Amino acid sequence: MSPFALAHLSAGIGAGLTIIGAGYGIGRLAASAMEGIARQPNAGGDIRMSMIIAAGLIEGATFFALIVTMLLATMKG
């Protein structure tokens, strides 16, 4: 197996793990936000705004990781 094939395989595995991690993180974030709103409905707006900002930061890190994996897959020796 050539080194380039291994690089592509590793990039694919890295991209998959990145997406799984982001999905898990955003899922936990949303569950915690819903629980917080259920416990204290008056703070719903503040919790929702914080959740949206945190989800954006998680997705930004995810896109960065995906770009890095794509760049590593396309690098030539």
Model pLDDT for residues 16-58, shown as the tens digit of each residue: 999 999 999 999 999 999 999 999 999 999 999 999 999 999 9
List the alpha helices (DSSP H) in 40-74: 44-74
Residue type, 6: L
**Whole-number pLDDT of residue 27:** 95
Q: What are the CA-CA distances from residue 41 to residues 11, 17, 29, 38, 63 (Å)?
A: 43, 35, 17, 6, 33
Single pTM value for the model: 0.79
Between residues 43 and 6, which one has the greater pLDDT?
A: 43
Q: How confident is the model at residue 77 (pLDDT cuts 50, 70, 90)?
A: low
CATH number belonging to domain 3-74? 1.20.20.10
